[in-house]
Amino acid sequence: MVLIALTLGQDHVLWEIGVFFSQLAIVTFGGAYAVLAYMAQEAVQGFGWLRPGEMADGLGLAETTPGPLILVTQFVGYLAAFRAPEPFTPFVAGLLGAGLTTWVTFAPCFLWIFALAPWIDRLGNAVRLKGGLAAVTAAVVGVIANLTAWFALHVLFAEVGQRNFGPLRLYWSDPASFDWRAGVLVAIACALVFGLKWSVLRVLMAAALGGMVLVLAI
């Protein structure tokens, strides 16, 4: 980050990527799904690095590849730098953006682990801390629900509006822009997960095949 500030300046997209994902790694709790809710909204609406459909593509890519879901952050970092590459070529800028995202996302997390490891057992027995963690867990459930609603709107509808009320955001969809093919796949996936109790991997494979069939047949 010091090198970027000295050579490219704090107005460059790589600086923005580094600062954003550093903050993301340090102050978020609850796993990848809780992080993705904030990241998706800021990457799409805050910085304008991606379009909503591309963010959904990135999540789908992360779900269907080996490795932790948080690796979708590299997808975002790559596209952000790829689209504002100066003074590099788009490909080189994309690689730098993805590499920087990886570093600033994981380095703080490991720093927390190594710094707090000697006190983990003691913290687990702290009554007050357990109460605080319970509150964090409840908040994480709400954050994941928010992520679900955000992605559902942008996957099922081509046109999604937004209005800000201070810190709150209200979204609404245009019924005429409903994608019935996505709706069919959502219904099938829900039936397989909740009705037939299929594993996530099997549902992903079935949805991918169903998507290809619908696109090729229509």
Query: What averages of pLDDT result for each successive group of 10 residues across the chain (218 residues)?
Result: 94 95 80 79 89 85 78 93 94 96 89 80 71 77 82 87 77 88 92 92 89 84
Alpha helices in 42-71, H assignment, sequence order: 52-63
Coil vs helix vs strand at 143: helix
Per-residue confidence (pLDDT) for residue 186, from 0 to 100: 93
| pLDDT recorded at residue 97 | 96
- Cα 72-99-75 angle, rounded to 5 deg: 25
The pLDDT, as a whole number, for residue 142 is 83
Paired residues of 191 in beta bridges: none
- SS3 string of 67-130? CCHHHHHHHHHHHHHHCCCCCCCHHHHHHHHHHHHHHHHHHHHHHHHHHHHHHHHHHHCCHHHH
d(C-alpha 162, C-alpha 154), whole Å? 12
Distance from C-alpha of 76 to C-alpha of 167, rounded to nearest angstrom = 24
CA distance 157 to 150: 11
pLDDT at 29: 67
- Whole-prediction pTM: 0.76
Q: What is the end-to-end Cα distance of the chain in Å, rounded?
A: 48
Tokens coding 172: 């609404």
